[in-house]
Chains A and B, each alone.
Chain A
Amino acid sequence: METVKTQDVTVNDLPWKIEYKPDRCTMCGSCVAACTFQAIQPAVERRSVTVSTGHRPEPSQKHSAVLTIKQRNSIEYACTGCGMCEKTCPNQAIKPVRNPDSRFNLLARKGGSTIKRGGRTSLNSGRTLDNIIVGRISQMTDPALDSERHTFDILAPFGRVLMPHELPLSATNGTLNLTAKLPPVNWIYPVIFSDMSIGALSTRAWEAVALATAYLNEKHNMPVRMSSGEGGMPVKLLESEQLKYMILQIASGHFGWNRIVKAIPKMKVDPAGILIKIGQGAKPGDGGLLPAAKVANHVQAIRGVPKADLMSPPNHQGLYSIEESVQKMFLSMNAAFKFRVPVAIKCAASATSVSVYNNLLRDPYRICGGFFIDGIQGGTGAANEISLDHTGHPVVSKTRECYLSAVKQGRQGQIPLWAGGGMGLTGNAAADAFKVICLGANGVFLGKILIQLLGCIGNEHGRCNSCNTGKCPAGICTQNPRLVERLDIDKGAQNIVDYMLALDSELRKLMAPIGNSSLPVGRSDALVTTDRAVAEKLAIQYVC
């Protein structure tokens, strides 16, 4: 018998254990081939069986070498619970099972390196929105509308809105005429496909989202816009008519902008907007990260970089204050498209969000066309786990605070508020969108749920979340050509389209009972909550 080596890693130290039923296994090898993490491997085991076949006990021992599937005792090759083995097994012979005794967090910092992963925070899964109910239902004098037959105006502004007295209108013969140009405002669907870059996503996954966007616009007349993410775009798309569905993102690494700038003279149409990313809710203050494993040739080409870890700094270089950000970035971005394209800003929700928003509201240039607040429950393709789980700020109260701060100044609606970070976390993005809109947001942005619709199986309970490794088993967050093939673009796009069509109907199902034919922005009276603290914080009615 070997001496017990207590410090060796065993399967029981890992977050997931493989449950294998040798009696059902045909040794086809599908599971091993499907496991992108190489967490399981074929092995030969020595077995001994004691046999007695006569009338009297005459035991004899038989030794044999048996083929089996074995989980590796390794932190590096730990099972992530993705379940691809189970999915591919024709005989239900194998599946991962969550291990409550995992010691992974104590063992995974080899060489002093931090734990990195993708996905969402696992610790902050409390959901304020689930404690809120649409409780102001029209019953008598104010009749509910018919969600199927009534015409609803489901659009939200992207762009800087002027106060009524600032409008350059002059009246002649009882008619108002605009006498000067207004800042550009695009009225779009109140759900934006959030910024996930080519790089974080496989080209096929990105393409599926872009395809869904175009399909929703062109076949269903839903003006959904998609943000490119930091990492540029294919030149073909930059020079196509479909650019009008895209919001170009610029973040602190400025990745991809070389190509974008060069494409400007060849653009047939303007993009829908520019989104300057200051921070991300999932990892505020931590900058972007694209591990070298995912910097494939095409990513190098689009971004104009060598194969290396690509780290966007946590701040925009040269910016030391919001004022400077307003003056330099906003002006240059506005000027680049000759003030025809609205420029918005995305910040991680923070204790300081209201100050930032006030600062933008009071900016005399009036060129910030949207304030995107990204909450702690947002997803990411790669982050330090400590940032994911221990930094950030919930988005709901922060959105409400920003709105009420604007109300106090009579400036609500001037800089549209867009809320994201956990929208659709439980699968119902329409309900989440409706509730934050009632609290003051103009719209929401979705990211993680889109890749979940493409087939991502990651969740907030430690399943997979390996977006940073380049080994995405669903072919979504990887650049490995073999893995990328796993994603069926058309099917993925179809899933997103179906979801959005349902979301649109579900939004109507919520607008109809409160009797509103346009979006109830700031209609906090439509909401009630069974949680006193939430009622007090959000200034909505407490009910029990």
Chain B
Amino acid sequence: MCRIGAIKSKEYFHPSAALHLMLPQQEGHDNSGFAMVMQDLAGVFSKYKDKPLLSLACTQKGAKLVEDYMEANDFQQLAEWIPRGVKNVKLDIKAMPYYIFRNYEYPEYYREATEEAKGELLLDTRLALRELLEKDEQGYVYSFWPDVLTLKEIGDPWDIATYFKLWDNNGDLMAKNVVVQCRQNTNYDIVRYAAHPFFLQGYTLCANGENTFYTKNKEYQKSLHRGYIGFESDSQNFLYTLHYVLQELKWPIKYYKHVITPLPFNEITQRSDSAELRAIRQSLGSLEINGPNTVIAMLPNGNIMTCCDSKKLRPVVVGGDDTMVAIASEVCGLNAILPNRNQELDVYPNEREVVIINQALEVERWKQ
């Protein structure tokens, strides 16, 4: 079982907090990688919060390919954070030669474009870069979105953090929201793209568990949107469905849970909104998930959500204080970073519940 976590804070915090949240929870294969998505950044990128930020890992040749592509497509480089990796052979990390975390100015003809048009451009650019790098295995592009940074690597999380100097708080890299996970693929090949969290157009998601409707979900999602690709992990299904329900169908967030774990028919019948729920269940049946899992998602507006499968076979807990709220698979993670919180207020969501931490750090919870 992989452990997942997220932190949302009123004040900017350093990514080491995410490591402190995760490390007490680690067991077995959990120490096989580190991956996080940071949103609402401070530090190096604070001046360019509205400009897209590219996160990728590549070879030297890959870096050149990316530079050429971005130049040819009229993206102009703004700020950059270059992690000078700690060269120490004893560190357990499969480092890539280059890591690029770079802000760009939008192409001139897109500067006045709508947010939607910009979002499409950023997705198309990321997909194009991915294809470019994939061809000769020259690298991996994780996200390209304003105010969002993704860092992923294979190895021991502690050593990865040492390599990227994430233990040293020099103020370069700060955020108000982080979603984090410390395990490489357990069941199949270890591929960087298979490591959670996944990102698509402002939506970030990581999941703990398995989705046994992977094949069914994948077969449906493939034709729904050009951004639904890869499928290196069955957890990508959760992200694509989240994106589809919120971004494409533009449905209120409460319907996400109704899509992935619909109520049994006999419960639907007893509800006042049974006609709508039945319509959703029958039209989106191919997006239903199954198997034990817990999802943590971060939305474009910075809200962080968690929910579980309908049998509640994977744990998750939410807790915090006035300035910081965190979600973790196990309570020991919360105890590590929020030891003084009121534990009696911790929330253990049930199988029909959705919990959202909003911008004011209020914890909203409702039953499906």
Point out the residues of chain B lying under 8 angstroms from A145, CB to CB: 311
Interface flags, A388-418, vs B, CB<8A=1, else 0: 0000000000000000000111101100000
Most chain B CB within 10 A, of A150, A155, A167, A408, is at: A167
Partner of A142, one of B273, B280, B291: B291
Tell me if A171 counts as interface (CB < 8 A to partner B).
Answer: yes
Of A13-21, A309-317, A494-502, A509-517, the stretch lying at the interface with chain B is: A509-517
Q: In the assembled complex, how far is the CB of residue B182 from the closest CB belonging to chain A, in whole angstroms?
A: 17
Q: Is the CB of B291 within 8 A of A515?
A: yes
Point out the residues of chain B lying under 8 angstroms from A523, CB to CB: 212-213, 215-216
Q: Is the CB of B286 within 8 A of A413?
A: yes
Of B139-147, B198-206, B247-255, the stretch lying at the interface with chain A is: B247-255
Q: Is the CB of B220 within 8 A of A410?
A: yes
- Residues of chain A in range 166-201 having any CB-CB distance to chain B below 8 Å: 166-167, 169, 171, 174-178, 182, 185, 187
Tell me if A426 counts as interface (CB < 8 A to partner B).
Answer: no
Q: Is the CB of A171 within 8 A of B251?
A: yes
Q: Is the CB of A413 within 8 A of B252?
A: no
- Residues of chain A in range 62-77 having any CB-CB distance to chain B below 8 Å: none
Of A157-165, A225-233, A248-256, A300-308, the stretch lying at the interface with chain B is: A157-165
Q: Is the CB of A167 within 8 A of B264?
A: no
Tell me if B310 counts as interface (CB < 8 A to partner A).
Answer: yes
Size bracket of the A interface: 35 or more
Given A142-B210, A155-B265, A187-B265, do A167 and B216 touch, yes or no (CB 8 Å)? no
Q: In the assembled complex, how far is the CB of residue A170 from the closest CB belonging to chain B, in whole angstroms?
A: 10
Partner of B223, one of A165, A167, A409, A413: A409
Q: In the assembled complex, how far is the CB of residue A465 from the closest CB belonging to chain B, in whole angstroms?
A: 40
Partner of A161, one of B1, B213, B254, B283: B283
Complexed CA–CA distance, A151 and B264 (Å): 9
Point out the residues of chain A lying under 8 angstroms from B278, CB to CB: 185, 187
Given A153-B265, A175-B252, do A164 and B284 touch, yes or no (CB 8 Å)? yes
Q: Is the CB of B213 within 8 A of A143?
A: no
Point out the residues of chain A lying under 8 angstroms from B280, CB to CB: 167, 176
Given A165-B248, A407-B220, A518-B290, do A176 and B276 touch, yes or no (CB 8 Å)? yes
Q: In the assembled complex, how far is the CB of residue A124 from the closest CB belonging to chain B, in whole angstroms?
A: 30
Partner of A521, one of B210, B216, B273: B216
Point out the residues of chain B lying under 8 angstroms from A166, CB to CB: 283
Q: Is the CB of B209 within 8 A of A412?
A: no
Complexed CA–CA distance, A166 and B280 (Å): 11
Point out the residues of chain B lying under 8 angstroms from A30, CB to CB: none
Point out the residues of chain B lying under 8 angstroms from A182, CB to CB: 275, 279
Complexed CA–CA distance, A178 and B274 (Å): 10
Tell me if A60 counts as interface (CB < 8 A to partner B).
Answer: no
Given A153-B265, A410-B224, A522-B215, do A161 and B210 touch, yes or no (CB 8 Å)? no
Which of chain A's residues has its CB closest to B284's CB? A164
Q: Is the CB of B219 within 8 A of A157?
A: no
Q: In the assembled complex, how far is the CB of residue B221 from the closest CB belonging to chain A, in whole angstroms?
A: 9
Point out the residues of chain B lying under 8 angstroms from A171, CB to CB: 250-252
Complexed CA–CA distance, A514 and B290 (Å): 10
Which of chain B's residues has its CB closest to A182's CB? B279
Tell me if B119 counts as interface (CB < 8 A to partner A).
Answer: no
Most chain B CB within 10 A, of A175, A182, A518, is at: A518
Which of chain B's residues has its CB closest to A409's CB? B223
Given A514-B212, A515-B291, A521-B216, do A165 and B1 touch, yes or no (CB 8 Å)? no
Q: Is the CB of B212 within 8 A of A161?
A: no
Which of chain A's residues has its CB closest to B288's CB? A518
Q: In the assembled complex, how far is the CB of residue A183 from the closest CB belonging to chain B, in whole angstroms?
A: 10
Point out the residues of chain B lying under 8 angstroms from A162, CB to CB: 279, 283
Q: Is the CB of A178 within 8 A of B223?
A: no
Complexed CA–CA distance, A169 and B264 (Å): 21
Q: In the assembled complex, how far is the CB of residue A418 from the closest CB belonging to chain B, in whole angstroms?
A: 15
Most chain A CB within 10 A, of B213, B214, B224, is at: B213
Point out the residues of chain A lying under 8 angstroms from B254, CB to CB: 174
Point out the residues of chain B lying under 8 angstroms from A412, CB to CB: 219-220, 286
Complexed CA–CA distance, A363 and B313 (Å): 42
Q: Is the CB of B251 within 8 A of A169?
A: yes
Q: In the assembled complex, how far is the CB of residue B127 from the closest CB belonging to chain A, in whole angstroms?
A: 19
Tell me if B282 counts as interface (CB < 8 A to partner A).
Answer: yes
Q: In the assembled complex, how far is the CB of residue A409 from the closest CB belonging to chain B, in whole angstroms?
A: 7
Complexed CA–CA distance, A175 and B253 (Å): 9
Q: In the assembled complex, how far is the CB of residue A400 from the closest CB belonging to chain B, in whole angstroms?
A: 12
Given A169-B279, A176-B255, do A517 and B311 touch, yes or no (CB 8 Å)? yes
Which of chain A's residues has its CB closest to B249's CB? A164
Point out the residues of chain A lying under 8 angstroms from B300, CB to CB: none
Tell me if A138 counts as interface (CB < 8 A to partner B).
Answer: yes
Most chain B CB within 10 A, of A162, A164, A185, A409, is at: A164
Q: Is the CB of A164 within 8 A of B283?
A: yes
Interface flags, A408-433, vs B, CB<8A=1, else 0: 11101100000000000000000000
Point out the residues of chain B lying under 8 angstroms from A178, CB to CB: 275-276, 279
Most chain A CB within 10 A, of B187, B212, B280, is at: B212
Q: In the assembled complex, how far is the CB of residue A453 from the closest CB belonging to chain B, in whole angstroms?
A: 27
Tell me if B292 counts as interface (CB < 8 A to partner A).
Answer: yes
A/B interface sample: 26 pairs, CB < 8 A: A138-B212, A141-B1, A141-B187, A141-B210, A142-B212, A143-B313, A150-B311, A151-B264, A157-B285, A161-B283, A162-B283, A163-B283, A164-B284, A165-B248, A165-B249, A169-B279, A171-B251, A171-B252, A175-B252, A176-B251, A176-B273, A178-B276, A409-B223, A410-B220, A514-B212, A516-B213
Q: A163-B283, A517-B310 are in contact. List 18 more A-B contacts (CB 8 A).
A: A143-B292, A150-B311, A161-B285, A164-B249, A167-B280, A169-B276, A174-B252, A175-B252, A187-B265, A407-B220, A412-B219, A413-B285, A515-B212, A516-B290, A521-B285, A522-B215, A523-B212, A523-B215
